[in-house]
Amino acid sequence: MHNEYSHQVSEGMDVLDMNGEKIGKCGETLGDYFNVDAGFLGTTEYYVPFSAISSVSDNQIFLNVHKENVESMGWNRRPATARTTETADAFSGERTAHGGDSLQLREEELQARKTSVEKGSVQLGKDVIEEERTLDVPVTREEVYVERHPVERREADAPIANDKSETIRVPVTEERVEVEKRPYVYEEVGVAKRVTQDTEKVSDTVRREELRVDEEGDVDVRKDPKR
């Protein structure tokens, strides 16, 4: 019995996987299947069930599987005109279980990947600032004072002249302050890096397969006594 896409499939259409990667070209239709010519020059053939089609658009057929999984789907065997139960179950994702068969339950796990990115930079430079400073400098200067004291009267060595040529000169000195500036190194600055470690929380949605048991008819299903 054909599904909804059987009448939309025609020879020559591109067949792509669920990610849009090309698998091959559509060939003839065989009942509930259609032929796909893949490989170099169509040397590989697959017989894909219509139930594996997820959509058909723009002359392209999209399947619901990844290209790398096509080989494991059993589509390289030419099906009979009428599907057997075993073949139908294989293509629909179901199979008849026999003693010792098992069903794998899978779950996804989160993995974190770290990359180093530059978030900024630090540059060291120098700016010149001006400020007023005051120094207290002790200085000396000479002061002159006149000493007068009486002496025992005695006869002078020379008469009193009318001119004023006889004088005494006393030089007077003082210290003057001159300011000069000299540069001195008062500090050295370097730059270094150290690594600190923080913890960041990352979250995402993961999927896990849980077991579902569907009962049909008069079937007695019991749990494994060992679990």
pLDDT tens per residue across span 56-115: 999 999 999 999 999 889 898 888 753 444 444 444 455 555 555 677 888 888 878 788
70 vs 160, more confident: 70
Overall number of domains in the chain: 1
CATH of the domain at 54: 2.30.30.240
Q: Is residue 50 part of a domain?
A: yes
Specify the pairing of strand 53-57 against strand 60-63: antiparallel
169 located within any domain? no
Domain membership flag for residue 221: no
Residues 6+ apart with CB under 8 A from 18: 54, 62, 63, 64, 65, 66
Q: Is the pLDDT of residue 202 over 80?
A: yes
What's the pLDDT score for residue 200? 85
Q: Is 187 within a domain?
A: no
Task: Identify the pLDDT of residue 101.
Answer: 66
Contact 25, 15 (CB under 8 A): yes
Backbone angles phi, psi at 192, to 5 degrees: -140, 165
**Pairing between β-strand 60-63 and β-strand 14-16 as defined by DSSP bridges:** parallel
Whether residue 160 is contained in a domain is answered as no
Asked if residue 1 lies in contact with residue 47, where contact means CB atoms within 8 angstroms, the answer is no
Residue 73 maps to a domain: yes
125-149 tens-digit pLDDT? 999 999 998 989 898 999 988 889 8
The yes-or-no verdict on residue 47 having pLDDT over 50 is: yes
Give the domain range for residue 65.
6-91
The whole-chain average pLDDT of the chain stands at: 82
- For CA atoms 97, 84, 67, 20, the dihedral sign is negative
Mean pLDDT of 159-171: 76
pLDDT of residue 173: 93
Of the pLDDT bands very low, low, confident and very high (cuts 50, 70, 90), residue 183 is very high
pTM confidence score: 0.35
Q: Is 150 inside a domain boundary? A: no
Q: Does residue 107 sit within a domain? A: no
177, 139 contact by CB (below 8 A): yes
Q: State how far the alpha carbon of 104 is from the alpha carbons of 67, 107, 209, 210, in Å.
A: 21, 10, 9, 10
The pLDDT assigned to 62 comes to 96
